[in-house]
């Protein structure tokens, strides 16, 4: 990941509807969500959602796959991971204990964190 592509991704997310859309797609991984359903869930017209999805797609954050008459969108978690790693590279200056709280917060799929979120 380079600076230009990171800026493109962050710029794409720097708008409320696109950020909500990306977060919604992340929460529906790996199944994805059809474009029309995204528009309904976010509460925007379908043509507006199409424009937002185009911006997210150009930034590499989402990918669409045609299924019959609709397009199923999924978050590109590999691209998002690359953006996050670019931002955090060398964050701790070699002191791993500084990074550990961040790593703990980002580890969303551990049993202890899932049970604490349920409470």
Euclidean distance between CA atoms 48 and 30, whole angstroms: 24
Q: Which domains does the chain have, with CATH numbers?
A: 3-78 (1.10.10.10), 92-118 (no CATH)
Two structure tokens written together for 14? 């720097």
**What local confidence, expressed as pLDDT, does residue 24 receive?**
97
Q: Residue 60's closest CA among 101, 94, 22? A: 22
Quick: pLDDT tens for 24-47.
Answer: 999 999 999 999 999 999 999 999
pTM metric for this prediction: 0.82
Two structure tokens written together for 42? 């976010």
Euclidean distance between CA atoms 102 and 97, whole angstroms: 10
Strands (E), the chain: 33-34, 62-67, 70-75
Mean pLDDT (the chain) is 88
């Amino acid at each position: 990941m380079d600076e230009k592509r990171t800026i493109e991704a962050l710029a794409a997310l720097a708008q409320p509807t696109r950020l909500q859309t990306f977060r919604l797609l992340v929460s529906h991984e790996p199944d994805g969500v059809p474009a029309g359903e995204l528009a309904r869930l976010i509460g925007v017209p379908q043509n507006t959602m199409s424009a937002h999805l185009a911006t997210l797609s150009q930034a590499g954050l989402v990918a669409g796959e045609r299924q019959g008459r609709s397009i199923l969108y999924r978050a590109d978690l590999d691209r998002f991971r690359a953006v996050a790693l670019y931002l955090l590279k060398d964050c701790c200056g070699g002191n791993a204990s500084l990074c550990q709280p961040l790593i703990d917060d980002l580890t969303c799929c551990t049993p202890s964190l899932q049970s604490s979120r349920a409470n």
